[in-house]
Chain A
Amino acid sequence: MSSPDEQDPRISKISSAIRVIPNFPKPGIMFQDITTLLLDTKAFRDTIDLFVERYRGKDISVVAGIEARGFIFGPPIALAIGAKFVPMRKPNKLPGEVISEEYSLEYGTDKIEMHVGAVQAGERSLIIDDLIATGGTLCAAIRLLERVGVHVVECACVIELPELKGRERLGDKPLFVLWPSLKGLFGLHYCFTIDLIATIGEKTRQPLRQQVLK
């Protein structure tokens, strides 16, 4: 497990480009919105560069990206390191033959799918998503790839929500993130501060959960 050197000036600009939206998709959730990062051409370029610098030359032939925000970060990384890009999708989106892996949600289950034949046994793979929360989706993605004999080298995300213990759920699978985020709890980087204080006041009887729904 590792995080990049916090002195890297690119990291602080990346984290400040990420917007926190309170009470989305439901009350009590502080949503980490990476779309504002995509509007900052330098910060978006730096985000991709940080992943590429880490994974180039490591004999990785597969970058698997999780629908839908993993589709934004995964392909530029795949192209730069010479790997193929494999989308991991919600049910019934991929045409043709797929394999599926179910995983638990807070209430109920969900499923992700990958094409049969997209990857070969023995390939070395990354899994990319914008954010790791509880780690449920990433664990399902790891299982899907390992079922067909792929070696998952590392999971890589822009943001981690450490309070949700996704890293522990990944077990011995390494996780690399650009920003461990405390902004969900303290949220002091943006103009939503006033709303946040009001929200905490209103919601003191409920835990402030960090779950992010895809």
Chain B
Amino acid sequence: MFAGDQNGLQGDPRLKAISEAIRVVPHFPKPGIMFQDITTLLLDHKAFKDTVDIFVDRYRDMGISVVAGVEARGFMFGPSIALAIGAKFVPLRKPRKLPGEVISEAYVLEYGTDCLEMHVGAVQPGERALVIDDLVATGGTLSAAIRLLERAGAQVVECACVVGLREVKGQHGLNGKPLYILVEPRQQINCSAPPVNGVETCRHDDLILGGNFGSPVNTTSKSD
């Protein structure tokens, strides 16, 4: 579900500003990928605050006691949301970063697999949890996060991302869990953000839906 589809947030100027604050970096980490760079959002204090506020307004009264953030960009959004709604923050990390006892969940990448870990004892059975990341692409990482929390007995209420495609639900299904997204990926680069490789780029104010810069698959890509 997109934030802008909902009553109350339709036409909300905060969403437009959030979208425009996100920089698109072409061909990163590899050719054909239009990387959605949220670090420029973090430089815009108002847009960053609005991002957190929109999530907090949604989740404040849902009885959520756990906000799980996916390493590393989920760490940039999750703790502020957790603090505001009175939940604990649980980092979900790459292998061997968390000390002490962990549970691990493998997930499939385009080539090969990766793994996400969570501390044993971080969540209790019956707790209601939110999963946060900056962006959802195929949903593989989020699906692994959901499985980790469910294995610990928590109930995942929703997954929340700043950026995502409408079509993601069809690819991995997120185990049937709802997904809440603020903005769609931008396909055009904008010059309101710092130059890319020293080159100023043209500004486009409208969200461009669909369309590719290169290959027809993987126009967005999830990395940490």
**CB atoms of A21 and B99 under 8 A apart:** yes
**Chain B positions 53-106 with a Cβ under 8 Å from a chain A Cβ:** 71-73, 75-77, 79-80, 82-83, 86-91, 93, 96-100
A44 touches B (CB below 8 Å): yes
B23/A87 in contact, CB under 8 A? no
Measured CB to CB, the closest approach of chain B to A60, in angstroms, equals 12
* Contact residues, B113-132 vs A (CB, 8 A): 119, 122
Output the least CB separation between B88 and chain A (Å): 4
Interface residues contributed by chain A, number (CB under 8 Å): 41
Q: How far is the CB of A113 from chain B (nearest CB, A)?
A: 11
- For residue A176, CB closer than 8 A to chain B, the reply is no
- Report whether A95 and B29 are in contact in the complex, using a CB–CB cutoff of 8 Å: yes
Across the two chains, which residue of chain B brings its CB closest to A119?
B43
Cβ contact within 8 Å between B29 and A35: no
C-alpha gap A96/B88 in the complex (Å)? 33
Closest to A24 in B: B99
List which A61-99 residues lie within 8 A (CB) of chain B.
Answer: 67-69, 71-73, 75-76, 78-79, 82-87, 89, 92-97
- Is A154 located at the chain interface by the 8 A CB criterion? no
Q: Does A115 contact B (CB under 8 A)?
A: yes
Shortest beta-carbon distance from B116 to chain A in Å: 14
- Tell me if B37 is interfacial: C-beta within 8 Å of chain A: yes
Shortest Cβ distance from B111 into chain A, in angstroms?
17
Interface centre among A71, A83, A92, A96 (most CB of B within 10 A): A96
CB-contact partner of B194 in A41, A68, A72, A97, under 8 A: A97
Q: Which of B44-52, B166-174, B202-210 contacts A (4 or more CB under 8 A)?
A: B44-52
- Complex CA gap A25/B23 in Å reads 36
For A71, A76, A115, which residue has the most chain B Cβ atoms within 10 angstroms? A71
Q: Mark B193-224, 1 if CB is under 8 A from A, else 0.
A: 11111100000000000000000000000011
Establish whether residues A76 and B83, one from each chain, have CB atoms under 8 Å apart when the complex forms: yes
Given the interface pairs A19-B100, A35-B122, A75-B76, the reply to whether A85 lies near B48 with Cβ below 8 Å is: yes
Residue A38 at the chain B interface, CB threshold 8 Å: yes
Q: Which of B44, B82, B87, B193 has the most C-beta atoms of chain A within 10 angstroms of its own C-beta? A: B82
By a CB distance below 8 angstroms, the chain B residues around A45 are 83
What is the interface size of chain B, counting residues whose CB is below 8 A from a CB of the partner?
46
The distance in angstroms between the C-alpha atoms of A19 and B100, with both chains bound, is: 10
Q: Roughly how many angstroms separate A195 CA and B72 CA in the complex, as a whole number? A: 31
- Is there an interface contact between A115 and B39, defined as CB atoms closer than 8 Å? yes
- Beyond A72-B89, A79-B52, whether A85 also contacts B42 by CB under 8 A is yes
A39 and B45 form a contact (CB under 8 A): no
Contact A79 B87 (CB under 8 A): no
A44 to B89, CA, bound (A): 9
Contact flag A33-B99 (CB < 8 Å), given A96-B196, A97-B197:
yes
A76 to B79, CA, bound (A): 7
Contact A85 B194, CB 8 Å, known A35-B91, A79-B45: no
Question: Does B35 have its Cβ within 8 Å of any Cβ on chain A?
Answer: yes
Which chain B positions have C-beta within 8 A of A153?
none
Answer whether A35 and B98 are a contact pair too, CB < 8 Å, given A95-B25, A95-B35, A97-B197.
yes
- Taking a contact as CB atoms under 8 Å apart, the answer to whether B99 and A79 are in contact is no
A118 contacts the other chain (CB 8 A): yes
Q: Decide: B28 and A38 in contact? CB cutoff 8 A.
A: no
Tell me how far the C-beta of A89 lies from the nearest C-beta in chain B, rounded to whole angstroms: 8
Contact B45 A38 (CB under 8 A): no
Q: For the complex, give the distance between the alpha carbons of A94 and B40 in Å.
A: 11
Using CB atoms, name the residue of chain B closest to A84: B43
* Contact yes or no, A95 B37, CB < 8 A: yes
Chain B minimum-CB-distance residue to A63: B42
- Once the chains are docked, how many angstroms separate the CA of A86 from the CA of B42? 7
21 residue pairs from A and B, CB less than 8 Å apart:
A21-B100, A24-B99, A31-B99, A33-B100, A38-B82, A44-B82, A44-B88, A71-B73, A72-B89, A73-B79, A78-B45, A79-B45, A84-B42, A84-B45, A85-B43, A86-B43, A87-B76, A92-B29, A93-B224, A116-B198, A118-B39
